């Protein structure tokens, strides 16, 4: 990787991590204060917010970052104005629909009103501009400052199980502040904003088509939570939701590379440099495999101690869905690489949407089946694993002329072996070293895992090391 590419990767990694920093730091505290019932209710209500947020953004973030990467500076202000105008229109329409929903929904109306801050903040998101310009570092530190304020406010004001409303309000207000700061920087860079309506029509079709992807993913997650609540109650929703939050944290590290390379690959496709496009695709598939597989094994080894230490004994049941959902790491990572870095970049949006739709339908169908079998919180976790695997298989078939099944399978097996060796070393260390403090025990386990996995790479002279060095020279 070049210095710029490495910096962008690190910036997006930090940016995505900061986005979920609050739940990462505050989850142990919030879990103990609000308890399983409060956590479950928050997860249940937030599933509605996710659905309305989808209507605001549609497929705009992915489409916008791609268009920003392809557009020269002379036309940047016009493009930004068109895209942000569309976002504002959708925010107004969706907020009106949400108001009607609150009026007719007879439960928890006060909490739903507080979620308005979160919903409106979604409509102010302009991070897609910085992703497309490969300038995430420009907003990173401001977002870190906002998140630190969020964390401080949560520890200061959330004191009892009756403070769920404060938790929702704090998250909404700090998100609004973060979006305001990000938007002001974007407006400054593009030279202002003009509200336009006439010329946004050209963007509607591709935005709506790409809407299928986030909508199906969020819709499936929300449906699965609602099904789980209907079958087993809000407490089980809280159990699954905690496991899913940890899954999102892990995926953010894996998907950061996809966010970095998408603008660059869009430029390669626009200029007709298909050879570089294929090389970067293969590089990404290998890189993601080498990163996701050891993370899965790491979760398997450390889950029992980590869950009790991080969430508290009340959430010990989170371990089972977390272990199951960790097997989705590699499928989700590879699926995002093929879908976003190749299918979307090469304007094969219909093919990408088809793979996601089939995977989403499979996920919800399996979730319903597993709930019938009384799998409880494990049901949506296992269903997610099945759905992501199906999506990946469809995408691999769609790009079979570009990516070989044998090529992917060859290095997958290799990294599985490396990961199992790593897991064996971690398990052996846990048996031979007695450490009373759980935090120190977990740090030791991570250290053993990183060292043993790195040794496997070095001794095998893995091509990924040479590929990274080669990218430095190429870019």
Question: What pLDDT, in 10s, does the model give residues 384-420?
Answer: 999 999 999 998 888 888 777 777 777 788 889 999 9
Judge if 40 and 178 occupy the same domain. Answer: yes
Q: How far apart are CA 141 and CA 162, in angstroms?
A: 33
> Per-residue pLDDT for 3 more than 60?
no
Judge if 392 and 274 occupy the same domain. Answer: yes
| Angle 116-247-389 from CA coordinates, rounded to 5° | 110
Q: How far apart are CA 422 and CA 70, in angstroms?
A: 42
Residue 365 has a pLDDT of 93
- Two structure tokens written together for 291: 């990163």
Q: How far apart are CA 67 and CA 70, in angstroms?
A: 5
Q: How far apart are CA 467 and CA 85, in angstroms?
A: 42
Domain boundary pick from 152, 179, 198: 198
Question: What pLDDT, in 10s, does the model give residues 240-275?
Answer: 888 888 888 788 777 766 666 666 677 677 777 777
Residue 116 domain-assigned (yes or no) = yes
Q: Yes or no: say if 90 and 122 are a contact pair by the CB < 8 Å rule.
A: no
Judge if 283 and 424 occupy the same domain. Answer: yes
DSSP 335-354: HHIIIIIIIITTT-HHHHHH
Residue 384 domain-assigned (yes or no) = yes
Residue 212 domain-assigned (yes or no) = no
Residue 357 domain-assigned (yes or no) = yes
> Per-residue pLDDT for 176 more than 50?
yes
Q: How many domains does the chain have?
A: 2
Residue 215 domain-assigned (yes or no) = no
> Per-residue pLDDT for 317 more than 90?
no
Question: What pLDDT, in 10s, does the model give residues 193-233?
Answer: 788 888 887 888 778 777 777 777 778 888 888 888 888 88
Residue 161 domain-assigned (yes or no) = yes
Question: What pLDDT, in 10s, does the model give residues 411-465?
Answer: 788 889 999 999 898 888 777 776 667 778 788 888 888 899 888 888 887 776 7
Confidence bin at 23 (pLDDT 50/70/90) = low
Mean pLDDT of the chain: 81
Global pTM reads 0.71
Residue 268 domain-assigned (yes or no) = yes
> Per-residue pLDDT for 383 more than 90?
yes
Q: Which domain holds residue 252?
A: 229-472
Confidence bin at 2 (pLDDT 50/70/90) = low
Question: What pLDDT, in 10s, does the model give residues 267-315?
Answer: 677 777 777 777 777 778 888 888 889 999 988 888 888 887 777 777 7
> Per-residue pLDDT for 469 more than 70?
no
Residue 350 has a pLDDT of 82
């Amino acid at each position: 990787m070049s210095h710029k590419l490495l910096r962008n990767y690190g910036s997006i990694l930090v940016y995505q991590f900061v986005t979920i920093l609050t739940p990462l730091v505050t989850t142990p505290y919030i879990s103990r204060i609000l308890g399983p019932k409060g956590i479950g209710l928050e997860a249940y209500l937030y599933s509605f917010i996710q659905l309305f947020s989808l209507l605001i953004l549609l497929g705009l973030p992915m489409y916008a970052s791609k268009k920003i990467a392809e557009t020269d500076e002379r036309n940047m202000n016009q493009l930004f104005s068109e895209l942000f105008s569309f976002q504002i229109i959708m925010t107004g329409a969706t907020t009106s629909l949400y108001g009607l929903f609150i009026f007719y929904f007879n439960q928890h109306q006060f909490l739903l009103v507080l979620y308005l801050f979160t919903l409106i903040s979604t409509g102010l998101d302009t991070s897609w501009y910085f992703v497309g310009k490969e300038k995430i570092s420009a907003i990173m530190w401001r977002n870190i400052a906002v998140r630190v304020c969020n964390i401080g406010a949560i520890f200061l004001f959330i004191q009892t199980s009756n403070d769920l409303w404060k938790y929702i309000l704090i998250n909404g207000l700090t998100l609004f502040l973060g979006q305001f700061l990000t938007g002001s920087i974007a407006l400054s860079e593009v030279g202002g904003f003009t509200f336009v309506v006439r010329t946004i029509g050209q963007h509607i079709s591709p935005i709506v088509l790409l809407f299928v992807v986030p909508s199906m993913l969020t819709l499936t997650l929300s449906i699965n939570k609602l099904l789980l609540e209907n079958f087993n109650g809000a407490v089980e929703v809280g159990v699954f939701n905690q496991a899913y939050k940890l899954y999102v944290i892990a995926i953010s590290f894996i998907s950061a590379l996809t966010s970095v390379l998408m603008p660059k690959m869009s430029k390669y496709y626009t200029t007709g440099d298909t050879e570089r496009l294929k090389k970067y695709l293969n590089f990404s598939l290998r890189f993601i495999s080498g990163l996701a597989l050891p993370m899965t094994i790491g979760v398997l080894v450390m889950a029992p101690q980590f869950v009790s230490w991080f969430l508290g004994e009340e959430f010990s049941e989170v371990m089972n869905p977390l272990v199951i959902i960790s097997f989705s790491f590699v499928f989700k990572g590879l699926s995002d690489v093929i879908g976003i870095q190749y299918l979307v970049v090469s304007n094969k949006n219909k093919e990408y949407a088809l793979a996601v739709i089939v995977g989403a339908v499979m996920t919800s169908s399996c979730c319903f089946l597993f709930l019938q079998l009384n799998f409880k919180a494990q049901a949506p976790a296992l269903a997610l694993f099945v759905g992501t695997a199906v999506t990946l298989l469809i995408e691999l078939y769609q790009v079979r002329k570009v990516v070989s099944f044998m090529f992917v399978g060859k290095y997958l097996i290799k990294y599985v072996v490396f990961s199992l060796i790593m897991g064996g070393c971690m398990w052996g260390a846990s048996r031979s070293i007695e450490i009373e403090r759980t935090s120190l025990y977990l740090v030791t386990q991570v250290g053993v895992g990183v060292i043993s996995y790195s040794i496997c790479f070095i001794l095998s002279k893995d091509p990924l090391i040479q590929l990274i060095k080669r990218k430095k020279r190429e870019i």
